[in-house]
Structure 1
Amino acid sequence: MSDNELGVFLRTRREAVTPAQVGLPAGSRRRTSGLRRSEVAMLAGVSVEYLTRLEQGRDRRPSPQVLSALADALRMTATERIHAYRLTKGADGSFTCMGDVTPGRVVRPGVRALLDRLDPAPAVLLNRLSEVVAHTAGFERLAGPIGLLDGTPANLAWFVFTDSRARIAYPDWHQVADEQVAALKQGPFGSDAHSAMLADQLTVAAGSEFTRRVETLPGLPRANGVLRLVHPEAGELRLAYETLDLPADDDQRLVVYLPADATTSDALDGLHRRRQPVLRVVSG
């Protein structure tokens, strides 16, 4: 994990905001679509030198007032503001919410019942290491044929970065890889024994495809979107997904997939008719 997570996050937000979004002219000599440091500094009421120190990691603890001003200037959403605040509090790495506890691998009865009710919709329960803890039969019909569930335990991030079948299954592989790293960095990635081991294994197995993303991507994955998946039996599918974070004690997140178009809906119905739906709990 990068030792300058706040700086990475502020820089990526600055590069993502257009001048038009903050009421500034684009200008004819602008090299990128994002904001210049001088523009963000002006909008936030801080010096360019101080913003530079924050982005470079030479200052990692801005006051709440300064952080709020930067959040306003960078048009951060509520989720992004919370994420930025968390990064300032975790700057010294001396405290993590999860400590060194084992990643959530036990499925509560209520969550099992929820998965059962969700079937035949594809849904998967992941822990902070992206291990597949439980899933519906609908998810197995999607993930089994592409090889995602072959590992023991199955791990979504490991599959994406180390299995050649992933690049066939995900036409937008680079985007999927970005999201996997961002999801891993939501937790104390690399700061406890369990995540440090996974980080080391992915570094060795995937090399720069993984390490480059760890160093440059902010830990803020999208909670929803559309995933393209090439299925060996059903062809290319477009799946709208929603990610629901369970309470911190569970240390898990639930991802539910729905058809994003009529063609995908018909394909999922066809897969459902071929197999008997059964809820499977992988571990716990």
Structure 2
Amino acid sequence: MAADNLLGDFLKARRARIAPSGRELALSGQRRVAGLRRDELARQAGISEPYLTRLEQGVDRHPSPQVLQALARALELDADTAAYFYSLAAPAPDAAPGPARSAGRAASGPGDGGLEVTGPEVSEDVHRLLDAWADSPAYVRDRRFDVLAANKAARALASMYEPGRNLAREVFFSPGARRLLPDWPLIAEQTVAALRAEADQRDPQTVRLIAELETSEDFRRLWAKHDARPSRDELKRFAHPDVGELSLRRQALTVGGAEQLVIIVYQAAPGSASADALARLVYEF
């Protein structure tokens, strides 16, 4: 993944996904490119083709808000992807990221091995909050989808929620992920879109992570679509080897502060079969 021309790469990839209209087909005759040609997108956005060329080649990296909005309309971007597109035109932060800090206390409890994690610090208040949700799997992750802290219920639900794991890496490389997640194709698509929307692609650690993930054909195919959608609250299914299928409502909560950490909590509907299965799982872990 190249991190030096994110805006241009996005424009080229999304331009290739737009079907030309009947008028454009009539004007162009036989086509040799997928999607819109550069001159067609420029015409639809009301900008010059040479200027669009400079944007795609990375010569001009900071178009005006008016140009960005016109291109977003021409590219038929939804609200989430448009917001991501606008962020690509923002100047890179001047300050380099600070050194990694300890993520706080290691997870405790049977089976965790006292694993130490490096990354943004998770406060004791957040650790206490996770522990208070004793019957609900809950964990903290950062923008790169590194798990920084998790309660006992989360670690009982899946090994991918152990502190020190990376969720994107687990989805695409863990042998058991497709068995654990019955809706794996949808989860994979959501993971890639959320990673693109939330991760800082100028960060060297993120660049290395994406390069590793791109060795997966599935990830490479989804990443090339340039979809961007932050994590959403939704129902998620698990096929646990010990207690069977669970349907859990996922909620994403943002932790205040500069590190942009996210708490993910899974809850079962009260009195449901999933609630009973989750209670057994936590009790036996």
TM-score of the alignment, normalized to the shorter chain, above 0.5: yes
Task: Give the Cα–Cα distance (whole angstroms) in 1 for the partners of residues 94 and 260 of structure 2.
Answer: 13
Alignment of 1:96-175 (within 5 A): 99-102=97-100, 104-143=119-158, 147-149=159-161, 153-175=164-186
AA aligned to 2:190 is E
Task: Give the Cα–Cα distance (whole angstroms) in 1 for the partners of residues 36 and 267 of structure 2.
Answer: 36
Task: Give the Cα–Cα distance (whole angstroms) in 1 for the partners of residues 25 and 248 of structure 2.
Answer: 40
| Cα distance change, pair 241–67 in 1 and its aligned pair in 2 (3 A) | same
Task: Give the Cα–Cα distance (whole angstroms) in 2 for the partners of residues 182 and 97 of structure 1.
Answer: 26
TM-score by length of 2: 0.68
Compute the displacement of 1:60 (Å). 3.2
Q: Secondary structure at the match of 2:140?
A: strand
Task: Give the Cα–Cα distance (whole angstroms) in 1 for the partners of residues 249 and 9 of structure 2.
Answer: 28
Task: Give the Cα–Cα distance (whole angstroms) in 1 for the partners of residues 240 and 185 of structure 2.
Answer: 18
* Equivalence for 2:236: 227
Task: Give the Cα–Cα distance (whole angstroms) in 2 for the partners of residues 172 and 61 of structure 1.
Answer: 39
**Structure 2: segments with no counterpart, 5+ residues:** 101-117
Aligned residues with identical type, % of pairs:
34
Q: Secondary structure at the match of 1:220?
A: coil
Residue from 257, 264, 279 that aligns with 1:272 = 279
Task: Give the Cα–Cα distance (whole angstroms) in 2 for the partners of residues 66 and 157 of structure 1.
Answer: 33
**Structure 1: segments with no counterpart, 5+ residues:** 279-284
AA aligned to 1:87 is L
Kept after mapping to 1: 8 A contact 2:80/2:229: no
Compute the displacement of 1:51 (Å). 4.4
Compute the displacement of 1:106 (Å). 1.9
Compute the displacement of 1:213 (Å). 4.5
* 1:246 paired to 2:246: no
> Greater Rg, structure 1 or structure 2?
2
Task: Give the Cα–Cα distance (whole angstroms) in 2 for the partners of residues 114 and 26 of structure 1.
Answer: 58
* Equivalence for 2:46: 45
Q: Secondary structure at the match of 1:255?
A: strand
The number of residue pairs the alignment matches comes to 261
AA aligned to 2:236 is L
Task: Give the Cα–Cα distance (whole angstroms) in 1 for the partners of residues 212 and 254 of structure 2.
Answer: 26
